Amino acid sequence: MGRVYNFSAGPAVLPEEVLKEAAEEMLDYKGTGMGVMEMSHRSKAFDDIIKEAEKDIRELMNIPDNYKVLFLQGGASQQFAAVPMNLMKNKKAAYIITGQWAKKAYQEAQIYGEAVAVASSADKTFSYIPDCSDLDIPEDADYVYICENNTIYGTKYKTLPNTKGKLLVADQSSCFLSEPVDVTKYGVIYGGVQKNVGPAGLVISIIREDLITDDVLPGTPTMLKWKTQADADSLYNTPNCYAIYICGKVFKWLKKNGGLEAMKALNEKKAKILYDFLDESKLFKGTVRKEDRSLMNVPFVTGNEDLDKKFVAEAKAAGFENLKGHRTVGGMRASIYNAMPIEGVEKLVEFMKKFEAENS
Ligand SMILES: *Cc1c(COP(=O)(O)O)cnc(C)c1O
C-alpha cells in the first residue's frame, strides 16, 4: 500500500517532497558522511541549517528585526508555563477560553499568578469565537492570551481581540504558516510544529525583543527563561536538531510554492470544497458557526453515532486516515493542513457523497 490521505490533527501530514529529500540525505548530509541526527549541534553543517531555517521563516512571516525567533523544546504545552513565567510582572493575565488548549494554558498560568478568564465559548461546546471587541480586561493585566486556531473544535479568530493596549500572546500551533500574519500585532506568537510544519517536540516562539529579560518569576527554570535561549541563539543545550532541519525544508517548500499568500489561497480553496459540501449535505453537518470556521481543522457529524463510526471505518478502508473526531466532540474531524493536497479533499468529498447516497 502506498501513502494514504492523512487527515490527522497532529502529528500530521508533511510534504512528500520534503520527506523524500530527508530520506536521500539520511545517511550522508551534503557530503559530510553523516546524517543530521548524528552530527554535532555545534558543527558548521548544523549551524548553516539553523541559520538558514531562521532566515527563511523570517522571510515567510515577514518578522521584524525587533523580534527573536526561538527553536525550543517541550512542544507548545511547555510554553503554557513559559509565557506566565516570563511575562507576569504583575502576576495577572487575561485568558480567552475557546477550547481545550486555551483552557490548559489558562490552568497552567494559575500556578504562577492570577489568570482571569475574560471570555469563553464553553457554553456551546466551543463551537464559536466569542465577541472580543470590548472585553473587561483588568487594568494591570500583563497580557491577553488567545489560542488563535482551535485544533479540536475547528474555530479560528478572524479578527484579533481588542486587547485595550495590552500585549497579545497567541498559540498559533494549528494555523502556523497557513496564512500571512501581521507579527507586529503580537508580543508573542508560538506554535508546536507538528501540526503544520514538522516533527513533534519542537516549538517555535517569536517574541518581541523587549519582552526577553532577566525579570522573570522567581523559580523560573533556566531552560524556560526566554533570555537563556535567546542569548544562546536556541543552542543553550542540544536542540531538537532533526526537527529544526525538517522545518527548514518545509520553509523552503513553502517559499517555492509562493509563500504564505499562496498558501492562504490554496487553504481557502481546499476548505471551501469541504464546507460547501457540508452546507448542502443532508447527512453531514459542520459543527462550527460559519463565520468562525477554521481553514485547518474541519469537524463534522452525521448526528448518529453509529453512522459516524461506520463512516470512519469505511473511510479508513478507502485510504482516508485519522478522520475520527476528538473524543470531546465526537463525530469526525478532517485536518487539512498545508501539506494536504487539494486532491485529498476532493476525493474525501467524493467519498462522503457516495457514503451519503448509500446511507440515506
Ligand atoms: C497540539 C496543540 C498543542 C499542544 O502541542 P504539544 O506540542 O503537544 O504540546 C497546543 N496548542 C494547540 C493549539 C495545539 O493544536
Which residue, 17, 5, 7, 58, is CA-closest to 257?
Answer: 17
Which stretches does DSSP call E strand in the chain? 5-6, 67-73, 92-97, 114-120, 144-147, 149-150, 155-156, 168-171, 188-192, 202-208, 285-286, 297-301, 320-321, 332-335
Closest ligand 1 atom number to CA of residue 174? 15
Q: What residue owns the CA closest to ligand 1's atom 5?
A: 76
**Residues 271 and 295: beta-carbon distance below 8 Å:** yes
pLDDT of residue 2: 84
**Cα–Cα separations (whole angstroms), residue 29 to 22, 24, 167, 287, 353:** 9, 8, 42, 46, 46
Residues ≥6 apart with Cβ < 8 Å to 152:
9, 99, 100, 101, 126, 297, 299, 326, 328, 329, 333
- Using left for φ > 0, alpha for ψ between -120 and 50, and beta otherwise, residue 200 falls in beta
Q: What is the mean pLDDT of residues 190-200?
A: 97
Give mean pLDDT, residues 149-177.
98
Asked about 233 being catalytic, the answer comes back as: no
- DSSP annotation string for 290-302: GGGB-SSEEEEE-
Distance of CA 211 to the CA centre of its chain: 22
Atom of ligand 1 at shortest range from CA of 193: 7
Structure confidence at residue 19 as a pLDDT band (50, 70, 90):
very high
pTM of the model: 0.97
**Which pLDDT score is estimated for 189?**
98
Q: How far is the CA of 296 from the centre of ligand 1 (A)?
A: 14
Name the β-bridge partners of 71.
Answer: 204
339 pLDDT band (50/70/90 cuts)?
very high
Across 206-229, average pLDDT: 98
* Domains within the chain, CATH numbers bracketed: 21-256 (3.40.640.10), 259-358 (3.90.1150.10)
- Confirm whether 226 is a catalytic residue: no
What pLDDT is stored for residue 329 in this prediction? 85
> What is the pLDDT averaged over residues 147-156?
98
State mean pLDDT over 97-118: 98
Supply the residue whose CA is at minimum distance from atom 3 of ligand 1: 76
Going by C-alpha positions, the residue among 182, 185, 181 that lies closest to residue 166 is: 185
Q: 253 an active-site residue?
A: no
Q: Is the peptide bond before 11 cis (omega within 30 degrees of 0)?
A: yes
pLDDT at 1 (0 to 100): 59
User: Which residues lie across from 332 on neighbouring strands?
Assistant: 300, 324
- Nearest-10 crossing angle of helices 259-280, 342-358: 10
pLDDT of residue 327: 87
Predicted confidence (pLDDT) per residue in 32-49, tens digit: 999 999 999 999 999 999
**Tens digits of per-residue pLDDT, 279-328?**
999 999 999 999 999 999 999 999 999 999 999 999 999 999 999 999 88
What pLDDT is attached to residue 142? Answer: 98
pLDDT digits (tens, 9 = 90+) for 239-262: 999 999 999 999 999 999 999 999
